[in-house]
Chains A and B, each alone.
Chain A
């Protein structure tokens, strides 16, 4: 090991950039959240007003509705992705001709810009152009119009998210499955366990860290989805798909209500952290409980 001064010098540029563009904005938003600051207000300067913003937020129906929508969206999207991603990963563990090609195809959606994903699905679903509404109507007489029906718009955003992000889940779980030790599976087979028992008692516990990590990454991403949804539905119809990121961006920004927007950002960040922590603590605690038995 060599002199640590040189080491810190190598680290310095990274730390400086992360501090200025990562930590500073956070500290700044922390300050603004406790102020009344609106460029359009009678007094456009920053005024300290304590927890007033946060108090107001607790009774802000639009904000609470958006938060609820976001959680709903995150739950359905991530749960489907984990199930589907696990299934695909498990199938990719087998050998079949053209595996490399199929895997590349199934990785494709991942690298596409979210904004282009939104554009793609808009072209697919927009009434009067998209093939999906057309053929649903032709074959089943079902009317699909995401700019009109609230539930359809919500489902459309979830399906789009599943299309876009299931590949990530597949890849992470595939990597995890490939690195699992073989012995426990062989032992379980010798002991005469059936496939479900092997899955439940061997595969699942071994995969738990990977699944947990994937759920975290995906949940955090899903809770901050903006681009795709903005492109697909614009947050509509009404406010039916105005998830929290969109809400902060499209509602708070144009109003230049900085203090209020900062408080909203802080609550969002806080809730994200708390939720991930709860999820983590819950899962870990249950495992420890089982071990203790």
Chain B
């Protein structure tokens, strides 16, 4: 339409990118400096890499436990959510169910409520109501894994719906004619075709679970604490050990960065809930 001026736009995007990256870059700088080096005027240059911040964090038994918890919780949640969402979307797409559109929208509304509203009842349910003998859901990994389904399942169903709808029904019918069971149709016909969509959904679900803080902080105390709660604790407990705090934060956000590299192309469709593109 109009003449492109590549130099102007590249300049604009470079400046804009620098602004976007500045906070993360600064955190990286802080994480790689000792307390003494951080003294005085702030410098954006790195003359030497002070590894002790990272080593201290990684050697800390508490942080190791948080890391393992986060990995276990996020992975289990992603697998569980993706599997259940596949079942659910398959049912919504292939079966004639009374009021299924209502069911679909009802699942979405679960995501809309402010979590602060649910903190109190969930805390009470976890500590006082969902109790079997001495076993509680409070401060357990399974408690968080199941809870994260509440906001991850709607997201997964919403994104997978179009994927499953996009797989031609004729393929199912052909398989049925050949004598396949429902389970075989799902695993041998639908699953292979839905794999890319499932992968993206699973990965984004994983990130959401990994990043979650509020529920993790409220519904755990010792055993099931996650990395994000560890990071928050760090600030309140140690105060101004900035280097180590930055290193901890860097370690918290590394998985997310890796994921972004993996699913960059699909993230538009995923994060917009498929709401925009019809």
Bound together, the chains give a CA A131 to CA B277 distance in angstroms of 41
**B242 and A115 contacting across the interface, CB-CB below 8 Å:** no
Query: Min CB distance, A120 to chain B, in Å?
Result: 4
Q: How far is the CA of A13 from the CA of B30 in the complex (A)?
A: 46
The range of chain B's interface size is: 35 or more
Q: Name the residue among A7, A115, A129, A248 with the largest chain B CB count within 10 angstroms.
A: A115
- Complex contact B125–A113 (CB within 8 A): no
Query: A interface, how many residues as a size bin?
Result: 35 or more
The reply to whether B116 and A226 contact each other, CB–CB distance below 8 Å, is yes
Contact of B218 among A3, A109, A249 (CB under 8 A): A249
Segment 248-278 of B: residues with Cβ below 8 Å from A: 248-249, 252-253, 256-257, 259-261, 264, 267-269, 271-273, 275-278
Contact, CB under 8 Å: A268 / B9: no
Q: Judge whether B55 is part of the interface by a CB distance below 8 angstroms.
A: no
Identify which of residues 204-252 in chain A touch chain B, using a CB-to-CB cut-off of 8 Å. 210, 213, 217, 220, 223-224, 226-227, 230-231, 244-245, 248-249, 252
B-facing residues in A104-152 (Cβ within 8 Å):
104-116, 119-124, 126, 129-131, 134-135
The CA-CA distance from A120 to B107 in the complex, in Å, is 34
B96 close to chain A: CB less than 8 A: yes
Q: Hey, which chain B residues are within 8 Å of A245, CB to CB?
A: 114-116, 214
> Which residue in chain A gives the minimum CB-CB distance to B148?
A21
Given that A1-B96, A26-B118, A226-B116 are contacting pairs, would A15 and B272 also be in contact in the complex, using a CB cutoff of 8 Å? no
B67 within 8 A of A: no
Please judge, given known A-B contacts A13-B87, A129-B42, whether A96 and B4 are in contact too, CB under 8 Å: yes
A11, B149: Cβ atoms closer than 8 Å: no
Question: Nearest Cβ distance between residue A52 and chain B, in whole angstroms?
Answer: 17
**A106, B17: Cβ atoms closer than 8 Å:** yes
Question: Quick one: closest A residue to B260, CB to CB?
Answer: A111
Q: Which residues of B contact A252 (CB under 8 A)?
A: 120
- A207–B122 CA distance with the chains assembled, in angstroms: 39
Residue from A10, A96, A179 with most neighbouring chain B CB atoms (10 Å): A10
Tell me if B20 and A21 are in contact (CB < 8 A): no
Which among B44, B113, B147 has the highest number of chain A CB atoms within 10 Å? B113
B119 at the interface (CB under 8 A from A): yes
Contact bitstring B59-94, A, C-beta under 8 A = 1, else 0: 000000000000000000000000011011011101
Q: Which residues of A contact B24 (CB under 8 A)?
A: 108, 112, 120
Chain B residues, CB < 8 A from A226 = 115-116, 213-214
Set B84, B146, B211: member contacting A114, Cβ < 8 A:
B211
Looking at chain B's contact residues, the main secondary structure is helix
Contacts of A266 in B (CB 8 A): 117
Least CB separation from A21: chain B residue:
B150
Q: How far apart are the CA atoms of A109 and B23 in the complex, in Å?
A: 10
Q: Is the pair B103, A15 in contact by a Cβ cutoff of 8 Å? A: yes
A266 to B116, CA, bound (A): 10
Does A202 interact with chain B (Cβ within 8 Å)? Answer: no
Verify B115–A224 contact, CB threshold 8 A. yes
B228/A115 in contact, CB under 8 A = yes
Q: Which of A32, A102, A131, A176 contacts B276 (CB 8 A)?
A: A176
Q: Which residues of B contact A106 (CB under 8 A)?
A: 16-17, 20
- Is A129 in contact with B242, judged by CB distance below 8 angstroms? yes
CA distance A121 to B264 in the complex (A): 24
Give the contact stretch, choosing among A53-61, A75-83, A166-174, A283-291.
A166-174
Is B138 engaged at the interface, CB distance under 8 Å to the other chain? no
A203 close to B (CB within 8 Å): no
Contact B96 A123 (CB under 8 A): no
What residues of B have a CB within 8 angstroms of the CB of A126 in the complex? 242
CB distance from A34 to the nearest CB of B (A): 13
Indicate which residue in A14, A25, A213, A224 contacts B114 across the interface (CB closer than 8 Å). A224
Please list 10 pairs of residues, one from A and one from B, whose beta carbons are closer than 8 Å in the complex, sorted by A's number: A10-B95, A25-B118, A26-B113, A29-B118, A96-B9, A106-B17, A107-B267, A110-B271, A175-B276, A248-B119
Given contacts A96-B6, A107-B260, A171-B268, 17 further A-B contacts (CB under 8 A): A4-B95, A4-B97, A14-B84, A14-B88, A29-B117, A113-B212, A113-B231, A115-B231, A119-B245, A123-B245, A123-B249, A129-B242, A172-B276, A231-B232, A245-B116, A249-B116, A258-B124
A-B CB proximity, top 8 nearest = A7-B95, A113-B211, A10-B91, A224-B114, A25-B121, A245-B116, A131-B42, A1-B96
